[in-house]
Amino acid sequence: MRNKRPLRDIARFSAIRVYNATTPSPTRVTMDAVEEIKNRLDIVDIVSETVDLRRTGKNYIGFCPFHDNKRTPAFVVFPETGTWRCFGCNEGGDIFTFVMKREGWDFRQALEHLAERAGVTLEPRRAEDAAEREAHQRLYDLMEEAVAFYRHHLHTPAGKQALDYLHKRGLTDETIEAFGLGYAPHAWEAARKYFTGKGYTDDDLLAAGLLTQRDDGRIYDRFRHRVMFPIRDARGRAVGFGARTLDPDGIPKYLNSPQTEIFDKSRLLYGLDKAGKAIRQRDQVVIVEGYMDVIGLYQAGFPNAVSPMGVALNEGQLRTLKRYTRHMVLALDPDAAGIRATLRSMEVAREALREASGFRLDPQGLLRQESRLKADLRVALLPEGQDPDEIALADPAAWERILASAQPIILFVMHTLAADMDLDDPKAKSDLAEQVLPLIYEVANPIEQKTYLQKLSALLRVDEDTLLAWRPPQRRRKPVQRRTPARGASTAQRPTKAQTSAAAPSRTPALLASLSRQVLGLLLRAPHLRFRADRWLRAHEMQPLRAADFPAAPHRLLFEAVLAATEQEDREPQDDLVLRLPTELHAEAERCLAATAALNAEQYTPALLHALLRLRREQVNRALDELRFLLESAAEDETPLYQERLIEAIRHRGLLDRALKEGLHLPAAH
């Protein structure tokens, strides 16, 4: 079968295969920006946002946020090296791995987030390189032609049912035109025939998501007999479609374009291209559930609405909106979100809602993002069974009233819960406190937090001190004191970043990075070496290669790409690797290749193992220092865990030392 992604310029990445030491290494994103960010940000600040840390000597200690631990604080932050480690679950890494793990982000998201916080400007992604830009332009052009194609069919006799549907929903021809709405014909090959006739290949059309391919290889139109909503990015370029079925039993009701080179639903907001200006002018954005809501509101004179298109509202989207305004109103449909049920039992409902379409309400997550973004996020509850577009088109004043009634998330949760409860019942009171207090603890601003406590206290008729003394079982975060110097470890006492980095031994991180590059450089050259190395390691009672061997987040990602490339069966591992490497890792990949350019193929396996064992030994040595240090300052009930880990580490180092001293006895067969 032919390559399905012709628009990606493969040849450009083949540098990885033919790389030699004389090729100038591009100075792009990756390690330079990564190092710069690490220098500017204090890992203690970042970790303290979610973990209560106490200072012990130069380091900080707390309860690990990634595993269940209550008794021994096994989670340690080392400001000098900018690293963290949990001796309970054996997780560890740098500021990037911490943020990635905490937020469930990929490396690029963590990089963008931390770069913004650090004030580091990232160089444009390589995706913007000329070749790729050209390929993307071809996609953008194709999508624009597709908008015209579907729009044309809306005004043919076959499109009458679609047009009737839009008119019935109250849209005028002018609005339909303004949003470029269309109709996908009731046929298997209408779009395919039309666009192949214009010189596009099936591969182009598959890459654009206009066609789809069945397992048996058959290719046909993705969108059939549907109302088409073109989705544009903030710059107004057509990037995808949302398509509503016209068949009353049609499944799914809405079918979206798949993820393509230019369409990433999680980063887009429907309607933002039109709404941007109005959002700035009104200093408010209204977030609604669907395409029709955005369009209806626009027609009714409320052009400041956008929709996250069925995905849970994520921080990237909120961050985008924050560039326009900090005032955000979430218009929630009580039916669809099942709000009362959700709030009554947040955990269960969160699971249930993950499967439901439309909005997913996660008050705690939203609050955290609101605090982080310094946004003002409110919730407006819609009358049951009515959509925003219906309301606004029928009675604009009613819509204004709904917006004006929007409440801060916590008050919304509090009142929604209280409406269903008998607050004379002590059990109900404590249930409500249990739900709402953790949310109040999430609020960063002490004045706001105090206000919410007062409101909760008035609502429950329980005094504030009692509320404050009450702790929800799982959460330990202190109210009010978040991010203030009074946090036990005072910022004033803490050495500044400049002092610590001056005092820190810089040799170790540099050595770790250089050893990591040697291992990865060889794996990138010959991914199958992984299996040979694992066989040797197992024969010597050692753990196989794993991501945790590499202290820096970019290196872990490179390793994971190698793993994935050797575990798929569609392509040669090297070809797969070339396609798989995220653009932001290309420069670092080339450094790894440069670090191993002088070796010839026979030296690969011994060199890889040698670098890996040294890398592990450096890490064990570091862990030993850290553990000894912890033992010095540990409370009595904390020592057993540390001692146990110390013994493990010493045994491990013995193994490594022996292997390195005796030389690597490699199996003869290569």
List of residues contacting Zn ion (CB under 5 A): 64, 66-67, 86, 88-89
Whole-angstrom distance, CA of residue 511 vs CA of residue 615 = 8
Strands 327-332 and 285-287: parallel
CB of 88 to Zn ion, least distance (A): 4
Location of structure tokens 């820190």: 504
**Strand order, beta sheet including 83-86:** 54-56, 59-62, 75-78, 83-86, 92-94
Given the complex with Zn ion, which of 86 and 392 has the nearer CB atom? 86
Complex with Zn ion: residue 88 or 408, whichever CB lies closer: 88
Tokens of 595: 């670090």
CB of 41 to Zn ion, least distance (A): 22
Q: For residues 67 and 323, which CB has a smaller minimum distance to Zn ion in the complex?
A: 67
| Nearest CA among 236, 221, 159 for reference residue 189 | 221
Q: In whole angstroms, how close is the CB of 68 to Zn ion at the nearest point?
A: 9
Cα 454 to chain centroid distance, Å, stands at 35
Separation CA 556–CA 101 (nearest Å): 13
Q: Where are the beta strands (DSSP E) in 374-429?
A: 376-381, 407-408
Q: What is the dihedral of CA 114, 118, 120, 122, to 10 degrees?
A: 10
- Closest to Zn ion by CB, 82 vs 88, is 88
| Cross-strand pairs, 329 | 286, 378
What are the tokens at 521? Answer: 């450089």
Please say which residue, 64 or 649, places its beta carbon nearer to Zn ion.
64
Nearest distance in Å: CB 62, Zn ion: 10
Residue 384 or 637: which CB sits closer to Zn ion?
637
Q: Is 65 or 446 the residue whose CB approaches Zn ion more closely?
A: 65
* CA 39 from centroid of its chain's CA atoms: 23
Q: Name which of 86 and 440 has its Cβ closer to Zn ion.
A: 86
Q: What is the largest CA-CA distance in the chain?
A: 84
- 459's torsion region: left (phi>0), alpha (psi -120 to 50) or beta? alpha
Q: Any idea of the CA torsion for 69, 70, 73, 76, to the nearest 10 degrees?
A: 40
Nearest-approach distance from CB 67 to Zn ion, in angstroms? 4
Q: List Cα–Cα distances, 585 to 13, 19, 574, in angstroms.
A: 12, 16, 15
Name residue 221's beta-bridge partners: 211
Residue 343 beta carbon to Zn ion: minimum distance, rounded to whole angstroms = 30
d(C-alpha 510, C-alpha 610), whole Å: 17
Name the minimum Å distance from CB 535 to Zn ion.
30
For residue 98, the minimal CB distance to Zn ion (Å) is 12
Structural tokens at position 82: 């900018």
Minimum distance from CB of 250 to Zn ion (Å)? Answer: 47
Comparison of 88 and 363: residue with beta carbon closer to Zn ion: 88
Report in angstroms how near the CB of residue 488 gets to Zn ion at its nearest: 21
The Cα 468–Cα 481 span in angstroms is 13
Cβ count near 403 (within 10 Å) = 18
Q: Which is nearer to Zn ion, 202 or 648 (CB)?
A: 648
Chain-centroid distance of CA 570 in Å reads 27
CA atoms of 496 and 509, how far apart (whole Å): 19
For residue 624, the minimal CB distance to Zn ion (Å) is: 19
> Taking phi first (over 0 means left), then psi (-120 to 50 degrees means alpha), and beta for anything else, what does residue 301 get?
left
Judged by beta carbon, residue 68 or residue 541, the one nearer Zn ion is 68
